[in-house]
A and B are shown apart, each in its own frame.
Chain A
Amino acid sequence: AQSVTQPDIHITVSEGASLELRCNYSYGATPYLFWYVQSPGQGLQLLLKYFSGDTLVQGIKGFEAEFKRSQSSFNLRKPSVHWSDAAEYFCAVDADTGKLIFGQGTTLQVKP
């Protein structure tokens, strides 16, 4: 069965510092990969997605993610974090089953 692991439950970074959130998935083929962000009390907003092609994908709000097939990973990065980036981040996969399988989420806290 497909699964998604986000190893970091909680991450704290200083404003202006770089960020990397890890995501590993378990699936035999290449799934469709997503990163969503959830601000407190809000719904989920898509940051970026990978379907095929270039393994480095750009998203909204200055985020990017890199798909590494050999490592079954899809890590999210941002070169300089802003205080407004504090939120819950979810990695998700769709193995063409029609349903998103989510990771446990990573809570990002930003220190001033």
Chain B
Amino acid sequence: DTAVSQTPKYLVTQMGNDKSIKCEQNLGHDTMYWYKQDSKKFLKIMFSYNNKELIINETVPNRFSPKSPDKAHLNLHINSLELGDSAVYFCASSQGRLWQGVFDEQYFGPGTRLTVT
């Protein structure tokens, strides 16, 4: 019973292509996130959705577009891939935020290793 799952696990593609990464959580959480881990293992948040609404949008190129069809899914679409996009992308989810009266840790998926050649 995987809590947060991502597909694919590995993605190798050429520069200029468009690709998508999918994320699903079965924890019933309201909030989902995308993080990027670079080659030096530094983790940085990219986006966050709460009940399908975008609530965090860090300084990310607009080639990256998240989409949340429902609160259990958060997909990441990347247009015109560049070499610098090579990284491990992690999806995460949590129950909610303090302003909602709920606070919980974030649960991470296994990651998607994207290699752009």
Could you tell me the distance between the alpha carbons of A42 and B90 in the complex, rounded to whole angstroms?
10
Contact A32 B110 (CB under 8 A): no
Interface residues of B in 22-42 (CB under 8 A from A): 31, 33, 35, 40-42
Assess the B42–A99 pair: CB atoms within 8 A: no
User: Is residue B86 contacting chain A, with contact meaning CB distance below 8 A?
Assistant: no
Q: How far is the CB of B43 from chain A (nearest CB, A)?
A: 4
Residues of B within 8 A of A112 (CB): none
Q: Which applies to chain A's interface (DSSP): helix, strand, loop or mixed? A: strand
> Which residues on the B side are within 8 Å of A51 (C-beta)?
103
- B41 proximity list for chain A (CB < 8 A): 38, 88, 104-105
Residues of B within 8 A of A (CB): 4, 31, 33, 35, 40-45, 48, 55-56, 58, 90, 92, 97-98, 103, 105-111
